Copies of this chain bind each other. A is one copy, B any other.
Amino acid sequence: MKTGLDFLLAAKRCEIDGLQRLALTATWVDVTARLVHTLQRERGLSNMYLAAQGERHTGARLTQIAMSRQVEADWRQQIERVDASAAQAGPGARLFSRIAYVLQGLDGLDALRQRIDERRWDTAQSTEAYVRLIAALLAVVFEAADSASDPAISRRLVALFNFMQGKEFAGQERAVGAAMFGSGHAEQAEQQRLLHLIESQERCLEVVGTYAPPEIRAMLSAPHVSATLADLERLRRVLCTTTQGSVLKPELSQVWFDTCTARIDAMKAVEDRLTQDLGEACSAKIAQAQAELASFGAISADAPPDPLDFYQAAGDGAQAAQASKSFALTLERSVLDLVHDQAKRLQAMGDELEAVRASLNERRVIERAKGLLMAHRHLSEAEAHKTLRQMAMNQNRRIVDVAEAVLAMADVLPAARS
């Protein structure tokens, strides 16, 4: 017959299992970050290759593709290790469904590369294709963050996800800018897209500022990062202020690419630090939980409890009862005390976790509202975002509240005319 202590131990083991799953998650989030990074470079070089009519950047692009293939193999290998049987029902199903989607994209990657080789797709199509694949990879990290059972780990995953998303906006900025310089002239639609990407980066980094450990936040304002950013801002100004149809110097294409790349590589260093910190936090949590488990085992039979403790000591009277007993049992703690402490701690953890997950949920609501606006009003992503932001400003409400209102209207919105 199982006792209260058995279930107390089971609760602790359950926590440890969850942490161990998170530690495994941390390792494949790391390789996912590397895969995203290499695909971002491949996207940028592909755009430069296309913009140069296939006359330059051929070698650099092929080298990058070889590197992407290597990291893809690593990623596929890591994914094999994901243990389906140990997954949680809801989050697990979502995670696997996201992985299935990524695999569809990876399976089509060589066909995509061939289209680019033969220059049958233009820079816009090529950018869009890579954006889609990288978004699918980021969705995997999002689900991982959403399924974390420990608030401290969840905070780190939320920071990491937002950092990766911000870095992806920086990567899209590099691709769009490279195509603009490469084409030799400025178009207003592309300028608007660029501004949207810059703003989106900043939003993501704000969230990182809230959730990342302080020493990592400090890396974001290191001197060499700021220096690169100053160079980048000069080029951004050129891109965004050149009047519609005016000439952009194609020779700045390489300078732009190198500057963006220097910045993104600096971001990669921060990202590496975030994934490393995530792994370390998992290990530390596991060690701590195991120590607690061991300490539970030690108290098992020592203090035979008063069977009426449950009815006398629980609730309001707990402190008083505790105080009156403490001279007798200075070192010994009853199972009931442990159950109380444990329940309190788990409750606090659950509450904190809900708070962290709320920030993910806000993102989900905003994304869905944007998707709805894009589908119903034929808007681009940038326009949909601008619409939401404008509504929020006009109504003096938070953007997430406006997004929720948009979703609530979904059923009554007329279908789009195509």
Contact = CB atoms under 8 A, between A and B. Distances in A.
A10 B84 contact: yes
Contact of A354 (B87, B96, B311, B361): B361
Contacts of A305: 104
A324 to B, nearest CB: 13
Interface string A1-32: 11111111011111101110100000000000
Contacts of A107: 3-4, 307, 310
Contact of A316 (B103, B111, B374): B374
A314 B418 CA distance: 17
Contact of A336 (B8, B104, B307, B418): B104
Given A1-B76, A105-B310, A149-B90, A342 B97 contact: yes
B7 A103 contact: yes
Interface in A169-224: none
B149 A80 contact: no
Nearest to A16: B89
Contact of A7 (B3, B99, B314): B99
Contact of A311 (B93, B105, B342): B105
Given A111-B308, A112-B311, A4 B84 contact: no
A100 interface: yes
A350 interface: yes
A268 interface: no
A96 to B, nearest CB: 4
A375 interface: yes
A112 B308 contact: yes
A349 interface: yes
- Report the interface size class on chain A: 35 or more
Interface in A309-328: 309-311, 314-316, 320
- Chain A interface mostly helix, strand, loop or mixed? helix
Contact of A19 (B18, B89, B315): B89
A335 interface: yes
Nearest to A109: B307
**In the complex this chain forms, how many copies of it are found?**
2
A393 interface: no
Contact of A132 (B19, B108, B311): B311
A100 B132 contact: no
A250 interface: no
Interface in A234-268: none
Interface string A71-93: 00000100110001101111011
A372 B354 CA distance: 20
A115 interface: yes
Contact of A346 (B88, B97, B129, B354): B97
Contacts of A230: none
A11 B100 contact: yes
Contacts of A354: 361
Given A110-B307, A111-B308, A347 B94 contact: yes
A141 interface: no
A361 B358 CA distance: 13
A311 B18 contact: no
A269 interface: no
Given A107-B307, A108-B310, A339 B93 contact: no
Q: Among A8, A90, A98, which residue has the most Cβ atoms of chain B within 10 A?
A: A90
Contacts of A88: 14, 18, 88-89, 149
Given A14-B96, A97-B342, 6 more contacts: A11-B97, A21-B89, A90-B150, A100-B335, A104-B305, A104-B336
7 contacts: A12-B93, A21-B89, A88-B88, A90-B350, A93-B346, A94-B343, A94-B347
Which 7 residue pairs spanning A and B have beta carbons closest together?
A18-B89, A89-B149, A11-B96, A7-B100, A4-B103, A108-B307, A90-B149
